[in-house]
A = this chain, B = another copy of it.
Amino acid sequence: MTGLVHAEGVVVAAQQARLAARQVAALPTGVKNAVLGTLAGLIESERDAIVAATEADVAAARSDGYPEAKVRRLALSVAAVSQMAEGVRQVASLPDPVGAVVSSARVPSGLEVRRERTPIGVVCMIYEARPGVTVDAFALCFKAGNACVLKGGKEAARANALLGGLVRRALDAHGCPAHAAVILPALSRQDLMTLLGRSESIDLVIPRGGHEMIRFITEHTRIPTLAHAHGVCHIYVDQRADLDAAVPICLTAKASAPSACNAVECVLVHRAAAERFLPALAEGCRAAGVQLRADAAALPLCAGAVAASPEDFGREFLDLILAVAVVDDLDAAVGHIHTHGSGHTDAILTRDAAAAERFTSLVRSSCVLVNASTRFNDGFQLGLGAEIGISTSRLHAYGPMGLEELTVSRFVVHGRGQTR
């Protein structure tokens, strides 16, 4: 679907996705994998055209005065396109979640009760900039037996239209319904509202983008939404931490990807460890170009740090900036995390098993780590094989959403004439 879409077009497109979803749900695994294989091949053979389309998007965005950070997210290098194809093949290689038996039992009435995974139905993803999401989201939704409605940003229109065309060719090559993937072009605010009102056709909305975009969407739809919101991640360095290991863990958790949602934003240090740990952390930060913002107790121990303001705690810096504070004990660290954390990812560094146990029992973020970097909260790193994002909703999928999280369980019950 290209060109202008009117409100009516949006309604029809969502209905077509609903009809296609019924067919996709019943597709054999082999057919789904064949479509993904064809798509990976098409991405590779059209690599130069894809790169050229993203370059045209980049040039247009730059001349339209988009901020450079956003412009950069529109680009796809030759290597990134190859990786995209590889990602699609990887999804094909994962086990099909549809029909997987979650549990089964014979209940007293004699019924054989089976819970099994079934597709969600129609998944609508609304995202910005990155054109790679178009392919990733389709591959995951389709493998999990869902139809998808994909609404990317208008700044990536050329790349999304091209990639959407490849998806359609891959579906067509194996006789699958074209509307298994409805790729929508840029929509007016009014048409977006129309889309968000299609609760009879769409089962789930996944917004991925900035705060404002996510907030707008959750405020304007009755359709269930799984937000991928911000991560205010903490590392607590306990009094019994291995301090030699703690410095590189804290440093890489920030510096390896400062704007990732699983990057650490605040390091909390037990008072008894502060004098030994903080000077080493400060030294490492200086070398890595990370600015430390320290509370009053930490500041004298952190060479080169600046004084933190109260707003620096609970903040996602999205930059080479790290807040640091001294706490009296584990419970004070937990209290700080309850007050300032976002329930995304938090870690404790300690050799004390009881402290680790207490921390993981009291801090119930989507991922709680012991002696490892927060940046391991990622679908690939945690073994899901792939992810469509990291959910911060404490419902359905809390943390990375992989293939299984794009399904839901239903009951299939076999009886022998039981009445009730």
Contacts of A367 in B (CB 8 A): 410-413
Are A419 and B249 touching (Cβ within 8 A)? yes
Check: A76 CB closer than 8 A to any chain B CB.
no
Interface residue SS majority, chain A: mixed
Check: A381 CB closer than 8 A to any chain B CB.
yes
Copy total for this chain: 2
Are B372 and A415 touching (Cβ within 8 A)? yes
Most buried by B among A252, A356, A400, A408: A408
Check: A259 CB closer than 8 A to any chain B CB.
no
Are A376 and B415 touching (Cβ within 8 A)? yes
Distance A222 CA – B229 CA, assembled complex (angstroms): 14
Check: A54 CB closer than 8 A to any chain B CB.
no
Check: A233 CB closer than 8 A to any chain B CB.
no
Are A408 and B420 touching (Cβ within 8 A)? no
Q: Shortest distance in angstroms between A268's beta carbon and chain B's nearest beta carbon? A: 17
Q: Shortest distance in angstroms between A128's beta carbon and chain B's nearest beta carbon? A: 20
Are B219 and A219 touching (Cβ within 8 A)? no
Q: Which residue of B is nearest A367, CB measured?
A: B411
Category for how many chain A residues contact B: 35 or more
Q: Which of B109, B218, B366, B393 contacts A376 (CB 8 A)?
A: B109
Are B248 and A419 touching (Cβ within 8 A)? yes
Q: Which of B204, B361, B383, B396 contacts A26 (CB 8 A)?
A: B361
Q: Shortest distance in angstroms between A110's beta carbon and chain B's nearest beta carbon? A: 9
Contacts of A113 in B (CB 8 A): 382-383
Are B225 and A218 touching (Cβ within 8 A)? no
Contacts of A365 in B (CB 8 A): 410
Can you show 28 pairs from A to B with CB atoms below 8 A apart? A22-B338, A22-B362, A26-B361, A107-B381, A107-B382, A111-B372, A111-B381, A111-B382, A113-B383, A118-B364, A120-B394, A121-B364, A121-B394, A215-B222, A224-B224, A224-B395, A248-B417, A366-B410, A368-B413, A369-B413, A369-B414, A370-B412, A370-B414, A370-B415, A371-B418, A382-B411, A399-B411, A400-B411
Residues of A within 8 A of B (CB): 22, 25-26, 105, 107, 109, 111, 113, 118-121, 203-204, 215, 218-219, 222, 224-226, 242, 245, 248-249, 251-253, 256, 338, 356, 360-362, 364-373, 375-377, 381-383, 393-396, 398-400, 408-420
